[in-house]
Every structure is written in C-alpha cells, then in structure tokens.
A and B are shown apart, each in its own frame.
Chain A
Amino acid sequence: MAYVQGQTGEWEMVIGLEVHAQVTSNAKLFSGAATEFGAAPNAQVSLVDAAFPGMLPVINGKCVEQAVRTGLGLQAEINLVSVFDRKNYFYADLPPGYQISQYKNPIVGKGEIVLDLADGTSRTIGITRLHLEQDAGKSMHDQSPNETYVDLNRAGVALMEIVSEPDMRSGEEAGAYLKKLRAIMRYLGTCDGNMEEGSMRCDVNLSMRRKGDTKLGTRCEIKNVNSIRFVQQAIEFESHRQVELLEGGNVVKQETRLWDTTKGETRAMRSKEEAHDYRYFPDPDLLPLKLDQKWVNDIKMTLPELPDQKKDRFIRDYGLKSYDAMVLVAERASADFFEAVAKGRDGKLAANWVTGEFFGALNKLGKTVNDSPVSAQALGELVDLISNQTISNRIAKDVFEAMLETGKGAAALVEEKGLRQVTDLGSIEKSIDEILTAHADKVAEYKSGKDKLFGFFVGQVMKTTGGKANPAVLNELLKKKLNS
C-alpha cells in the first residue's frame, strides 16, 4: 500500500474503477449494424442506431451470452432476471436522447478479481456489478472551428460496464486490476481489450483520506482514460491535487474531470458541470431479460481455463516459480506459447527461455507472441538441444540469435556452425593437457593454493574448443588433473 506524503502527513488513496468494455460481437446490441473498428464515417449505422421515428430495439443474444460469460469469469452472481432501463440525457452523439442501459437490475451482480502484485502479494478487489448498455457515437470537436462533427458508427455497440468496489489503494493496484480484467476478458473472448481502439475505456473514481481514517472523502471521477499508463498518471496527478487542496484547508468538489494527455493533468469538464438527472425508467420497448439457469450452467461448462487456474496449474505441473507463472498467464497467447514449448520438455527450462530470451527479443523487435519470428516449435527444438546436452545454455543463446536473424531451425544452425557440444572425453582431455602444459607456472600457483585460477583453466580450454566443451565434463576432468 502506497501512501501519498503530504505536508501534514500521509494520505491514503481510495480508488474504484468503472470499465467500459466493448463486447466482442459481429452486430450491435440492439441493431443489425456491424461493430468493426475503422469503417468510414456513418457507414455502420442502422435506422435504429440513428433513432429514426418508429424504430425499435431487438436484443442481440450473443451480447447477453458474452456478459454472462464475463460474469462467470469474475466469479460473479448471474441475475436470471434483469431489466433494461433508459438513461435520459441529451447529447449530439446520443441519437435517441437516451442510452439503453441497466440501472436497478443488472445482468451480473457481485464478483471479484484477485490481483498479483509485483512484491509477490495478492489482493482481492470486489466487483460491484456488470451491466449491458449501448455505446454512444463519436463527437469530433477539432475538425472545424465552429462545428462538432458526429459519427454514429459506435452508436449502439454493446458495452459491458464493470464497476469495482473502491478497494484499490494505489496506481499500481489500479494498473494491475485493469491488466487482470483485460486478461480475463481476452481469455473468455468477450472483449479484445484494445484500449487504443477504445474497446476498453476506464473512468477512475478517486478520493483521499488521512492514513488510518475509515471515512471516505469526496471523490472525483476522471472520465475516459484510455490507457493503463494514463490511468496511473492520472491517479498520480489527481491524488496530489486533492491532497494539496485538503491540506490547504479547501474541499474537494465532487465533479467529473478529464485527463489531458498532452498537459499531463486533470481538469473539470465543462460539459458535465450541471447536475444530471437521468430519469431512469424501464425501457417500454423491451421486456425484462430472463435467463434459464440451465443455459447459464451450460455456458459455465464451456468456460476456458482462466489466468488464476492456469497459473496454479503451471506451478503444479511444470514446477514454475509463482512469479514466472504469473508473467506467463498474463496474456493467453503467452501462456499458450509457453505450453507449446514446455510440452514433453523441462518446464522450468522452457519457462526460463520464454520469459527470458524470447520475451526480451520480442520486446526489442516490438513484436508480440502472435507475430513472433520464432515459433513455439522452433524454440522447443532449441530447448531440446540444451536438454540433451547437444549444446550448452550459453551456446544456445547464440543459436537463438541466429534463429531470429535467419529464421533457420536450431538443429540446422548447430550443425551448420559446428556448435555441437564436445562430450568426447578423449578430445577434452587432450585440450586440457595442452593447456596445462602451456601454463605450467599457473598450475604451480594453483597447486600452492590459488584456487581461483580454476576458472582461468576452464576459460582457456573453452577458448580452444570454441566453447563447445561440455562444461560439466570439462570441470570434472580438469579438477581430476589439477588435483592429481
């Protein structure tokens, strides 16, 4: 738990997050228009989305299923009866003048997310609820000096609003929460979690209180922060702003604020200044949404293994360290890649290679697991060569570099470059004898007690063998010779 150091003492952050996650579906929540990202303006708009007179909503069953899947993935209660309400307000990109949402009776109730923190501890964050609602369109304010442009492609796209309890105490925890939530949804296939394309957006509720206080302070809501990094920066900025206000004897005004990415600060939103009164009421164009318990159970049966379960299994079955397992399960693609490498091999060795050289290379190349230049099969082959002592771990690193450069297989490269490890006793013994003869003085020094010279002899032998001598065999033989 990180406290903010003020002039007068330490302050604690109280953070709750509201995440809007775009449901992965072909069509919108209440219309048959497409949801694909990047279409020409107003090309993916139906008469329903644009709220033409007499148009009516019909719900997309897939979106209901996705919300239930997500709820199950968050260990949450699924409400068999939920209600769609209208949230009434005027805005240029909200064609009907109301958003169809769920207010009093959401489809998913209380759940939880377990966060694994960098220091190895874990924290459970409560999920208050998850509900289905429509996205609004997009307003563009910077295209013309006196007009706002409106594109309705997003209008009506299904969103899951996932509300957390105010359980987080630092920007790091908020970041971990978002990463974990995103991982769970990606595992489930319910949201692609792509924050750059806006398919996952976050509102941050933040208040400050003196360390030790149990009463909550006045909170501000920071709207639409569109990357995990910005969420953490916004929390950092906003917590200090609030502490300064409070320590200066001022009050924090409950308001909606905007994260300004260029200035790196939050500021009050003008358009949200007035108090809202959304006049929620059940949408009379829709009937209550009723789910069958058996249907929910069937979905539960088809859920994939989720990050927490996978992590436990990796520790159990592959003997991984908790930290490595956590890193590997953070993305489903990484976990799948690891499993493909580890299958039938030394799990620990595979994990070292995936989280070490492999991730390092991807990072350097700016690539992801999915477009990696080295396949899991190829990396597995390399691991095999280490395991069966064809090459040493050190040589393997060179081979891996060559694999990245040439795209060739590990075995082929070892043969081509003659990197096969020498385990032949006779030939190693011959090299040792040559070195010991050439450095008789050093041998004498060693024998008189300068143990450290052992490394020197190893190095010299390796040099003459081009690093290919099996280190274990070399060590054993060398020791024997020097001590004889």
Chain B
Amino acid sequence: MSDLTDISVTEALVGLAGKKFSAVELAKAHIAAMESARALNAFITETPKLAMKQAIESDARRAAGRAGAMDGIPLGIKDLYCTKDVRTTAASHILGEFTPTYESTVTQKLFDAGCVMLGKTNLDEFAMGSSNITSYFGPAISPWSGKDPVKANRKLVPGGSSGGSSAAVAGRFAMAATGTDTGGSIRQPASFTGIVGMKPTYGRCSRWGIVAFASSLDQAGPMTRTVADAALMLRVMAGFDSKDSTSVDQAVPDFVTALGTSIKGMKIGIPREYRIDGISAEIDNLWQKGAAMLRDAGAEIVEISLPHTKYSLAVYYIIAPAEASSNLARYDGVRYGLRVPGENLINMYENTRAEGFGKEVRRRILIGTYVLSAGYYDAYYLKAQKVRRCIRNDFEEAFKKCDAILTPTAPSTAFAIGEKQDDPIQMYLNDVFTVPLNLVGLPGISVPVGLGSDGLPLGLQLIGRAFDEMTLFKAASALEKAANFNHKPPFMAGT
C-alpha cells in the first residue's frame, strides 16, 4: 500500500503545502489503488484521465500560490451528483448513458476548492437502500470481513445508499467522498465501514444538480476517515445557493476551529426510548461506553425523552416513497435516458419504467403512489406529516435540556450480501436511529467508536441543533479522540 493513500485529507494538505509530494503523485497513487480495488465494485465510472488533468492543474495553482481549500485532494463522487460531461447514473438502468451538460452546485464547489475527481461511486439505485445491493451495476462490497465463520466467508455490504463512497474511503482508494443522506445513507455506511459520515442540517448544502430521491429529506454531506476531514470538507460543500429554494442563507463557519476544543459543561442527551426498543447488548454497551467517554471529557450526560421517534420509520416510509414517486416521474424515456419502445405513448412509458427501474425502486414508487392516491391521502400522507411534527416537537423539547444527543448509528454491524433481502421491512429497520434527523432536518454525524464481537466497526451518532454543526464537530472530535478508533479493514487497496 502506498503511504499516500493511507493519510487523511488534513495530512495530505500539509504534505502538498510542504511539497512532500505533488497532486499528480497523490492522484496517481489513488488511481492505482482504485484500479486494484475493482473487485469491490465501489465505482460505477472511473475518471482517471479527468483526475490527472485536474491534478496537473492543481499543482500549477499551488505553484502559483493560488491553491484552494482542498487543492489536489482525490475524491470519490457519489453517482447521484450530476457531473458535467461525465455519465451520471444514480445506479439505475433508467438513466442509460445520461451525460449531464451541467455540474451540481456541491461538486462545483469542491472543484472550485481544487478537488480531484477519481470517479463516480456506486450506490443503491436512486439512493433507495441501506446495503448498496439495489444498484443496477451490482453491489459494492465492503473492504471489511468479519471474524465469525459465516461473515468471514461472505462478502459484506458497505452499507447504503452511499456504499461505493464508504467502501472507497474505508478501503483507502479515495481520500474522501461525497454522500447523500435521505434516511441515513451517509451515516449508516460510515458506521458499517469504520469511517466518519456527516449529514448537515437540511438546507446547509445545495440540492441543485443532485438527483432527487425525497426532496424534503435529501442532504449532501462528506464521508471521510477523520472528523477533521469532515469539518474541512463540509465547509467547502456547504453554502447558500439561490438555485435551491430550500437552501438556507446562513453563514458557513469554519468548522475546523471547533475541533479539539473543550466540551466541558456540554450537555449530551441520551434518549430513554432508544434503550427500551430492544437493541442488542453489544450496541447498548458501546453506546454507554461512548457516553462515558464524553463524560470523561467533561460533558454532562442527561437523560432526555423522544417519545415519538419510534414512529419515525413508519413516517419515513410514507413520506419518502410519496415524494420519490413524484420525483421519479420525470424518467419517462422522452428527453433523456432509457427508452423501451411501446405501441403507444402509455405502453412506451410502462415498458421503459418497468425495465428501467429495479425492484426496490418500483416497490417504493408503488407505495408512494398509493399513499397519495384519492381516498388514502389523509390516512397515510397527511397523518405522516402530522406525526412528523410531533417528532420535531420532541427534538425541540429535548434540545432545551441538552446541546447534542448521542445514539447508536445503526442497530447492528454490517451484514452479508444476501442477508435481509427477502424482507424489505428488516432492511428498512437499519435506519431506525438515523431517519428521525432527516424528518426534522437536524444535523448528525457518525463517528467510529469500536468493533463488534464479529470484528466489524460500529459507530455512534451525535445529533445537533439545526445549523449548529459547530457543537456537533466539537463533540464528535472529543468522541473520536477518546475512542481512538485505529482499526483498519482487512482489505486496503494496493496491499
């Protein structure tokens, strides 16, 4: 393994600034790593030529003294972000060879800061999943393998939907990656692969140019190996965008300044209801350990109550499919993407969409169509929006008592490809701890804290107030320091 692929973004920027290595060397090392890791199927499209071009430009900028905040850093870009002149698939057959003529706001910001794109990472089709199994381009595979006999012999999921991104960052063949998070799609894969995943406050990052799944829930965010890298990268990704009506005009602070500062007196809430809900002893144990770490670092642990959060998943599985059923109506074979002929317009639509969408996407479109249809709207959709407000009220009450909330990120360690596939609800339960934040728009970060008895990573999630990512980074950095998670996956690209 090359040394250049196992360093953090922060370290790489120091090395580049100190001329220890060039952006071209960094890019070459990562391209080689990416090529050696093809078995993990983490990239749908590799863009080594573009990466080299960008790296050369980066070195020139640095030489001219005009280096950006992340100049020369090689990234994986989730294939849900539209990238100019680079095929964008959303891991779906329906987009065919769709090649945008435009660049998403967030990737543009990253490029403006000097980032280098290695390629487009794999994901669950249209980001609908928690395993990366629903990708039309086949599952991405975790660089981790378990200790127990079953998992040791089976390929594990890297989580989802941002599974290609988590696999590439954990497997050391992307220094960092972008993710998107609609119900946990950044945080759960981060927990599964032992990396840091940050979902900012809704409205913090522009959604313009990101293929929409559920508009009121989707948020872009960074996936990195350290909290510091996440802070650095979020600052680049975030910011008001007049092209997105839901983008919020709030100043973006320098999150890095929050790192390593004292959390003395910070109040960390532990939601009572999450315990009762029958989580495994292993998860509960890790959670208590995490709370103890923060207490030792000076925080005060307080018990809080989020009585309605247990309904979050049910609310989510009404709202997300409803919005998705409408958002995905544009994939009709008329202006771009796949077209499967039909004898008339309706048949053309039905054939195109039946062949173009995978099973899980079709399922969610049907659910979404049903809950919005005449006679059912009030019972499902409207009811869900009302319970959603109850959940938000819970969080508002809770944040009167605490500054941040600590919970597990996921109810288990990574599972094997093939597991949980028969029962969609079992799969949906993966997001039980992450979904509530999306429903209410709050920021959350998953920090790797330890390994389960199966030798696989487990993360804890910190939840903050809206637009208070600073506090979140402060607490996350303290937790990271105390946990000192330095386990590496058995597969490291290039080794």
Contact = CB atoms under 8 A, between A and B. Distances in A.
B334 interface: yes
Interface residues on A, range: 20 to 34
B208 A56 contact: yes
A52 B216 contact: no
Interface stretch (B228-236, B240-248, B277-285): B240-248
A57 B244 CA distance: 7
Interface string B314-351: 00000000110110011010111000000001100100
A286 interface: yes
B345 A148 contact: yes
A51 B101 CA distance: 13
Interface residues of B, number: 43
B245 A86 contact: no
A90 B244 CA distance: 25
A245 B325 CA distance: 41
B208 A92 contact: no
A285 B100 contact: no
Nearest to B346: A90
A86 B244 CA distance: 17
B335 A95 contact: yes
Interface residue SS majority, chain B: loop
A50 interface: yes
B330 A97 contact: yes
A97 B102 contact: no
Contact of B335 (A50, A57, A90): A50
B372 interface: yes
A56 B101 CA distance: 16
B207 to A, nearest CB: 6
Interface string A132-160: 00000000000000001010000000000
B369 interface: yes
Nearest to A53: B211
Interface string B204-229: 00011111101110000000000000
A54 B208 contact: yes
A338 interface: no
A281 interface: yes
A284 B372 CA distance: 14
A92 B345 contact: yes
Given A53-B82, A96-B330, A284-B323, A279 B211 contact: no
Contacts of B242: 58
Contact of A98 (B81, B326, B377): B326
B255 interface: no
B207 A277 contact: no
Interface of B: 81-82, 88, 90, 95, 98, 100-102, 104, 207-212, 214-216, 242-246, 322-323, 325-326, 329-330, 332, 334-336, 345-346, 349, 369, 372-374, 377, 381
6 nearest A-B residue pairs (beta carbon): A97-B329, A279-B372, A284-B215, A284-B216, A51-B330, A54-B209
21 contacts: A47-B102, A52-B102, A52-B336, A54-B82, A54-B104, A54-B210, A56-B208, A56-B245, A88-B326, A88-B372, A90-B329, A95-B330, A97-B330, A97-B332, A148-B345, A279-B373, A279-B374, A284-B215, A284-B323, A285-B245, A286-B246
